[in-house]
Structure 1
Amino acid sequence: MVPQQEKGRGPPEPGVELPSLRLFTWEEISFHNGQGEASRERWLVIDRRVYDITRFHKRHPGGSRVICSYAGQDATDPFIAFHIDKTPVKKHMKQLMIGELAPDEPSFEPSKNKLLLEDFRELQSTVEKMGLLKPNPLYFFVILLHILLLDVAGWFVLWYFGTSVTTFIIATTLLLIAQSQAGWLQHDLGHLSVFSNTKWNHVVHEFVMCHLKGLSANWWSLHHSQHHAKPNCFLKDPDIEMHPTVFSLGKSLSEELGKQKKKYMPYNHQHKYFFITMPLVVVPIFQIYSIYFIFQRKLWRELSWSATYFIRFFITFVPLLGVKVVLGQLLLLNVLESILFTWISQLNHIPMHIDYDGNMDWFSTQLLATCNVNQSFFNDWVTGHLNFQIEHHLFPTMPRHNFWKVAPLVKSLCAKHNIEYQSKPLLSGFADIVYSLKDSGEIWLEAFNHA
């Protein structure tokens, strides 16, 4: 592309040298999305500045797919949402900057709601001024302490009261709760929302995810960031990559699958086999990918941390239960945690809008793809505060203990712009997973039969 230094500018005054600055239109930027043979280059916009990430994206600390999700688009809001300390990041970005939007180009992409974007930017500023992005480490210390106590209690029941069917069930239940709560805590740490210092978040994240759960912290962070960048967007959100191999998700994707006469599974029965398929494979698949990721990236410290999880488990329980029973208990814990994790994590997303990336603004993207579960002490605790999924997706680095404070502001913004803010009872959320799968399956079947 030829530099466009003069576009939108008058002739330079005598004796004044213009900076070597390229000016671009939104149309030119959208062309450089890295897709197809026409353009392999990847550009994106942050605060009107244009950056070429073609060579950088594979070195992006947050992962290639996260940043490439916004190739050819405006990435201002996700940049603000994902980065806590933006000053050092912006220093590295200078070498990637190739120009800026032409003066006659709007700050927001023409297809987006300018008023909504302006209001959301104002909300972001309000959130920072209120200090809602500042964590309370003591709160998270209590969370960690109760996880460790549950873990110890699971062993203590068997050691003190002896081994029987009853004590085994009680011990396994306590260990299951500990594993589930550790999963929510590592989620907080992965989002850098426990400590103000990024390094401390990473260090403790490795302890919780690797030592307490036996999984890779780095693998989870990269995988989950992709989900947050473009939730429920097919080909961009890894959480819906089981479409169409196992499930047919969303109205438009189900119609597409049916018209193409694709039938990898009997999707009209997916609301039935969901009960068996998803819960039984989630954690085992996590473990397989986690191990593969550790060896692929040569994360030997994470490998050592993860090994201590299994070593600790066998040392403490084999003398009480024997090797065969402990292996069975580990398998049972994996299955039960898969069931718990699947239902809690999917009730906020599967019933929502699922489609290809429509390049909507950050606020609308998150509201279309997420819903809340009504607040209560139990709902907050059992879901790790992910019953506030809307607030979490809008502000992914916000500590969970502040979600309830920002929720009224988000509701107000939704009401102002006539955007639906969904919040439902916990059991209704579970039921909606089944209903939405049934509806998608029926849409696929109808399209399949009439194609």
Structure 2
Amino acid sequence: MTDVPVTVEARGSDFARLARKINEAGLLDRRPLYYTLRLSLVGVAFFGGWAAFVLLGDSWWQMLVAFVLAVAFSQVALAAHDLAHRQVFRNRKPSEFAGRLVGNLLIGMSYGWWTDKHTRHHANPNHEDHDPDVSPAVIVWSADQVERVGGLPRFVARWQAFLFFPLLTFEGWHLHVASFKALRNRSMKRRGLEGALLVLHFVLYFGLIFSVLPFGKAVAFALVHQAVFGVYLGCTFAPNHKGMPMITAEDELDFLRKQVLTSRNVRGGWMVDVALGGLNYQIEHHLFPNMPTPNLRKAQPIVRAHCAELGVEYLESGLVSSYGQALRHLYEVGEPLRKAKAVA
């Protein structure tokens, strides 16, 4: 995610011609009415979910509320994504203010940590050495990484295609832990505010859960809620780059090709748009990170036609097919380790 608005001259000739078309179509203009409605609906779902939790009280039906709140948390995270990209506000200060409230306070995810991580992802998508989203922390994404890793990632890599979705149940907790760990980084802006909002979130979160529910149900609620939250978030990002070409230091690609060739769009109607928060238009989003979400659909035919003129492959698939491609890639990456284990 970038703090620098896209300009026609910024990315070289092929991208410059595309950027001119996008600018002329007015697709980088803000969409205040859309975001007012979207953020209002997300707010109703979020606070309405907690109101239902309090009103329902001591009941195992709270597991259903945990599921609903996990969806609401994920939609809040997608809204924070748009805020950080300056899709909602053009200026930095209101974007950061709203982003910290939405990210740190409402869902316990550090706005500063995530912004830094996501900026590096956008700069070098699917780059083995520079994209933090494909670092071999647990999942291994390429044959070269297989040769370099040991310990848990090497053990998991053998069967990572089968373990991928179960592992996503821990993604929510990972976001929380990583947010707190990032507070040790002195380069993070407003560390005190970030930390205070994170602590306040968890005081309110656990305080409310354990005050309404007895201990066993409270633990079960938190586990279900965080597991579904992690799976939902993981499922919004997994179709976009996983299984697409990996880039190394030897690859020399211009901005347009680096973004298009490593990204995958997901076909679908308005339900997919809402569920994935517009990230199903991943190619357009990576080319124009500060483009408001509702304009991505309008930009798609322009971008697709431009790629066809250049002979640049533009990949789009269905939702289920996109997961299949990602899982097949993970299975193929782990194959050498399975063979080595069988020989041993």
Q: Distance in 2 between matches of 1:171 and 1:247?
A: 31
Q: Distance in 2 between matches of 1:84 and 1:266?
A: 40
Q: What's the offset of the Cα at 1:426?
A: 1.1
Distance 2:207 2:36 in 1: 26
Give, as a single letter, the amino acid of the residue that structure 1 aligns with 2:22: V
Pick closer, same or farther for the CA change 1:162–1:429 going to 2, 3 Å: same
Letter in 2 for 1:270: Q
Specify the code of the residue in structure 1 equivalent to 2:174: I
Residue pair 1:155, 1:317 contacting (<8 A) in 2 also:
no
Q: Does 1:334 align with 2:223?
A: no
Alignment pair present for 1:230 and 2:124: yes
Secondary structure (helix, strand or coil) at the match of 1:310 reads: helix
Give the residue type in structure 2 aligned to 1:257.
E
TM-score, L = length of structure 1: 0.68
- Alpha-carbon deviations, 1:80-118, whole Å to 9, x = none? x751288xxxxxxxxxxxxxxxxxxxx99xxxxxxx952
SS of residue paired to 2:170: helix
Q: Please, which moves more after superposition, 377-386 or 293-302?
A: 293-302
Q: Is the 8 A contact 1:353 1:369 kept in 2?
A: yes
* 1:389 Cα deviation from its structure 2 partner: 0.6
1:153-196 C-alpha deviation (Å, 9 max, x unpaired): 22333444453223x13311221111000110000011111112
Aligned mates of 1:123, 1:317 — CA distance in 2 = 50
Name the aligned partner's letter for residue 285 of structure 1. Answer: H
1:193-249 deviation digits (Å, cap 9, x = unpaired): 11122211111011100111112111110011000000000110001112xx53332
Q: 2-side partners of 1:172 and 1:434: how far apart?
A: 28
1:273 to 1:125, Cα distance in 2 relative to 1, 3 A: same
Aligned to 2:273: 380
CA distance in 2, matches of 1:271, 1:441: 8
- Structure 2, unaligned stretches of length 5 or more? none
Between structure 1 and structure 2, the one with the greater Rg is: 1
Structure 2 match to 1:84 = 5
* Cα pair 1:373 1:387 within 8 Å, conserved: yes
Secondary structure at the residue paired with 1:83?
Answer: coil
Which aligned pairs between 1:67-146 and structure 2 lie closer than 5 A? 83-84=4-5, 117-146=12-41
Alpha-carbon distance between aligned partners in 1 of 2:341 and 2:315, rounded to the nearest angstrom? 31
Does residue 305 (structure 1) correspond to residue 197 (structure 2)? The answer is yes
Q: CA 1:189–1:283 in 2, change beyond 3 Å: closer, same or farther?
A: same
Distance 1:282 1:154 in 2: 21
1:411 matched to 2:304? The reply is yes
Structure 2 residue 212 is the aligned partner of structure 1 residue 320: yes
Q: Secondary structure of 1:356's match?
A: coil
Note the C-alpha offset of 1:131.
2.2
Q: Which amino acid in the other structure matches residue 284 of structure 2?
A: E
Equivalent residues in 2 for 1:40-439, closer than 5 Å: 83-84=4-5, 117-166=12-61, 168-242=62-136, 246-250=138-142, 253=144, 257=147, 264-265=154-155, 267-277=157-167, 279-297=168-186, 299-357=191-249, 358-439=251-332
For 1:396 and 1:447, locate their aligned partners in 2 and report how far apart those are by CA, in whole Å: 42
Aligned length: 336
Greater displacement, 325-334 / 395-404: 325-334
Give the stretch that moved more between structures: 286-295 or 193-202.
Answer: 286-295
1:386 and 1:129 mapped to 2: Cα distance? Answer: 23
Structure-2 change in CA distance of 1:284 and 1:318 (3 Å): closer
Q: Would you say the 8 A contact 2:57–2:213 is kept in 1? A: no
* Aligned-partner Cα distance in 2 for 1:291–1:172: 23
Distance 2:175 2:75 in 1: 17
Normalized per residue, the structure richer in strand is 1
CA drift of 1:305 comes to 1.7
One-letter amino acid of the counterpart of residue 176, structure 2: Q
One-letter code aligned to 2:121: H
Unaligned 5+ segments in structure 1 are 1-61, 63-80, 87-106, 109-115
- Looking at structure 2, the residues matched to 356 and 449 of structure 1 have their Cα atoms a distance apart, in angstroms, of 30
AA partner of residue 129 (structure 2): L
Tell me the percent identity: 26
Q: Measured at CA, do residues 447 and 248 of structure 1 come closer, stay the same or move farther in structure 2, by a change above 3 Å?
A: farther
Q: Contact 1:153/1:171 (CA < 8 Å) preserved in 2?
A: no
Q: SS of the residue aligned with 1:233? A: coil
CA distance in structure 1 between the aligned counterparts of 2:272 and 2:32, rounded to whole angstroms: 22
- d(CA) in 2 for partners of 1:189, 1:157: 27
Equivalent-residue separation in structure 1 for 2:269 and 2:328 (angstroms)? 24
8 Å CA contact 2:141, 2:330 repeated in 1: yes
In structure 2, give the amino acid aligned to 1:384. Answer: G
Q: Which has the higher helix share?
A: 2
Alpha-carbon offset, residue 449 of structure 1: 9.2
Query: Does the CA-based 8 Å contact 1:271-1:437 persist in structure 2?
Result: yes
Match of 1:49 in 2: none
